[in-house]
A and B are shown apart, each in its own frame.
Chain A
């Protein structure tokens, strides 16, 4: 039996943001079945599809850059794979690309090193809009220029204070390009783009930065006032540069972001 590993990039938006990671896994299992794609199963008494995700997306977040690795018992063209899966997607899910991976590939979960997020203030949260209008990016710049950014990080066992500044890879103060993105566009236009360290060891959630920002500005952090949207995930090259996950170990790849129209 042949065995080909694929990496798939997908979007998650609209009401689908209310689904948790486990439900998304179940959703993909059924979608692969419907698409009649021959996914490999694990051995043992309770066989399950060999499928893994780079990094679970929290409930409430949207994304243009979710990664799914899957092992197939067939070699199908990337385009065919993408199209067949897209036929089985609901509103709020879009398959944007696929790559065939070399045999030595590592799964995306183990190599993810960074992620980019678009953080926006949601419409209707007038206190935040009033405060941050025109100064959101400046305030973040100020915060970022401090020597350290201390936050309380809660783990399962304890709470400890850590400096998250080293985990911030880049902050982009330019306007976000919404074309081909599923990100929600808000009337207030307050937003910023940041690239943060990700992965099992040094994962930094964008919420922590916004929390630190609110503390820095002396305003309350309202967890519902911000929309977090992931745009891409990366692995780290030997020279320390970060590159989108889809390209890693890929010998054949297709990206169709341009077919997605943001009709927001």
Chain B
């Protein structure tokens, strides 16, 4: 037993001055240790938000584990320094460092940044700036790491295209091997950055923005989007894991010291979703749905609990109720681990006999709540968005749960959906009330106290690669008007005292809307607003709305071009160069079906020929058209 070997990048005094020094020391249990001087490739993985958020992200843990399985590569981590540490680093002129080796990020071969939400874009610039890496990729030379972006927001990378050397489109488990192999070769032969980028652009899933030229029409729409050289693919096809069971999964996840958002083992049971909700980007980009083998998951769950010592496990996926072996898996976990003092945190499940049974086994019925996400108040609008949840199903589910002792219900809705009318909005209040009424049909002596309904609304943001990618988004004023209207309607309900109404900030939504469907013209705006001090936009307390609006004006950018403008079918959208399998034609048909209030069945019932069948995996192999 010897003394600690890793020297912290910061002297004690600086660490003791910040709020949570543990964010910056690394050294977590299961952290991978290698000699960074003796590997060929140093990869720094970054989640551009604070440690507690970044450490909770499964994707990074998967890639961290996968990269470190390579002997020639050492993958380390970095997260956004919190505002207090940001100040410390700037004042003392200390370059941002990776947690494992405590050495500067700038010395790495790669800086990989995961893009989970638009509101983290200024944080990316903070990371680059603090690392002393030029913010614009064009200003970088061979001494800088290759800056690569990935994750859901890489499906429209254009608003941040100028800051990245490349993007990885799709699931990380597949093409990194080739990318790193190619890089190693280039490093050995001392070829230039440009040569490497050009070679990498031919790797499946890799998009090198500097190798594509964008021309605009006078009205600001895209006229032309073309590769600069002939040998560069016109379309970048998303990467997808064909066999999840054969892909990498961390059996020994990192165990943080401080309490992080997901302080538990996370088990991904499947990837993708078959339901086809028309507002949902994840439902489209992760197609086709692929399940993990249940025996594999059982084994993995036990291994991860043993290797971390976590006292909780959660199952992760979109629409978990659709996982075919869910019952088997959940009952196995209850039998095997509940007795050992380990909690199971369930994803939100369709309410039925099974879910009520397991919920009553793993939760305190009186404290936990039922969750429904009807998203829209009326059946009409639910048909528009293809949300196959009916009022009857909700009321029956709620009633079954009430009889079993539950009395808390959470409902999630969106305001500003396409074709929405004030009648649709009113139905949100009516539905909330009806659930309460249902409760009070139970004889008083059989009730479990009062019912409590929490209805939350968020504002709808149209996202790329959804059937609603063309639609007009509401203005802030419209959003707020709708919210006020609904708030009024809530108060008119018989059981209004049992209903709590929560809502979101409209300003954040506006910015999200601009960035989600933005183009390259937004890069200088993001740069300037960062220079004005914007970081941690996702954290209400730091969000500088006025600075953003002011900067858009300075750049003569009309916000409405991005938000309230209804697009035409033949407009070239900034993300059209990406091929997600699902075709543009399918999305457009879905949009029109939506307008006609027609529903589309989920993949398991009937294949609707979305185009993802080209990947020849998952659900597509099981259903007939």
Contacts and interface: CB of A to CB of B under 8 A. Distances in A.
Nearest to B257: A23
B598 interface: no
Nearest to B24: A18
B226 interface: no
Given A16-B27, A90-B27, A224-B12, A34 B4 contact: no
Contacts of A122: 12
A264 B12 CA distance: 17
Contacts of B26: 15
Given A15-B6, A59-B21, A261-B1, A29 B311 contact: yes
Interface in B290-316: 305-311
Contacts of A30: 29, 255, 308-311
B282 to A, nearest CB: 31
Interface in A26-78: 26-27, 29-34, 36, 41, 45, 47, 59-60
B16 A60 contact: yes
A31 B309 contact: yes
Contacts of B3: 13-14, 182, 261-264
A91 B257 CA distance: 13
A173 interface: no
A166 interface: no
A260 interface: yes
Contact of A94 (B1, B12, B15, B364): B1
Interface string B220-237: 000000000000000000
B21 A88 contact: no
A93 to B, nearest CB: 9
A86 B29 CA distance: 12
A19 interface: yes
Given A15-B6, A26-B257, A224-B13, A45 B364 contact: yes
A18 B15 contact: yes
A2 interface: no
B181 to A, nearest CB: 32
A26 B4 contact: no
A14 B432 CA distance: 55
A264 B5 CA distance: 9
B322 interface: no
B482 to A, nearest CB: 41
B325 interface: no
Given A18-B16, A18-B25, A260-B1, A33 B257 contact: no
B417 to A, nearest CB: 41
B11 interface: yes
B12 A86 contact: no
B614 to A, nearest CB: 44
A64 B145 CA distance: 42
Interface in A207-264: 224, 227, 259-264
Contacts of A124: 11
Nearest to B29: A90
B2 interface: yes
A73 to B, nearest CB: 11
A14 B21 contact: no
A29 B25 contact: no
Contact of A60 (B1, B2, B12, B31): B12
B420 interface: no
B18 to A, nearest CB: 10
A15 B27 contact: yes
B258 interface: yes
Contacts of B258: 19, 23
Interface residues of B, number: 33
A91 B6 contact: yes
B259 interface: yes
Contacts of A94: 1
B16 A27 contact: no
B8 interface: yes
Given A45-B364, A60-B16, A90-B28, A34 B307 contact: yes
A26 B259 contact: yes
Nearest to A259: B1
Given A23-B257, A88-B29, A14 B13 contact: no
B273 to A, nearest CB: 33
Interface in B209-248: none
A59 B1 contact: no
Nearest to A264: B3
Contacts of A13: 3-4
A16 B12 CA distance: 11
B341 interface: yes
B623 interface: no
A142 B33 CA distance: 49
B100 to A, nearest CB: 12
B601 interface: no
Contacts of B305: 33
A87 to B, nearest CB: 11
A29 B309 contact: yes
Contact of A27 (B5, B6, B257, B310): B257
A45 B1 CA distance: 40
A261 B1 CA distance: 6
Given A45-B364, A91-B6, A33 B311 contact: yes
A261 B28 contact: no
Contacts of B259: 26
A34 B308 contact: yes
A20 to B, nearest CB: 8
A92 B255 CA distance: 15
Given A14-B4, A88-B29, A94-B1, A19 B308 contact: no
Contacts of A60: 12, 16
B16 A224 contact: yes
A84 to B, nearest CB: 12
Nearest to B14: A224
B511 to A, nearest CB: 35
Nearest to B16: A60
B103 to A, nearest CB: 15
B426 to A, nearest CB: 41
Interface of A: 13-19, 23, 26-27, 29-34, 36, 41, 45, 47, 59-60, 86, 88, 90-92, 94, 122, 124, 182, 224, 227, 259-264
21 contacts: A15-B4, A15-B26, A15-B27, A16-B4, A16-B27, A18-B15, A18-B16, A18-B21, A18-B22, A19-B21, A23-B257, A26-B259, A33-B309, A33-B310, A33-B311, A34-B29, A59-B16, A60-B16, A88-B29, A90-B31, A92-B4
The 6 closest A-B pairs by CB, nearest first: A14-B4, A30-B309, A33-B309, A18-B21, A34-B309, A224-B13
Given A26-B259, A31-B309, 8 more contacts: A23-B22, A30-B308, A60-B16, A91-B6, A224-B12, A224-B13, A261-B1, A263-B2
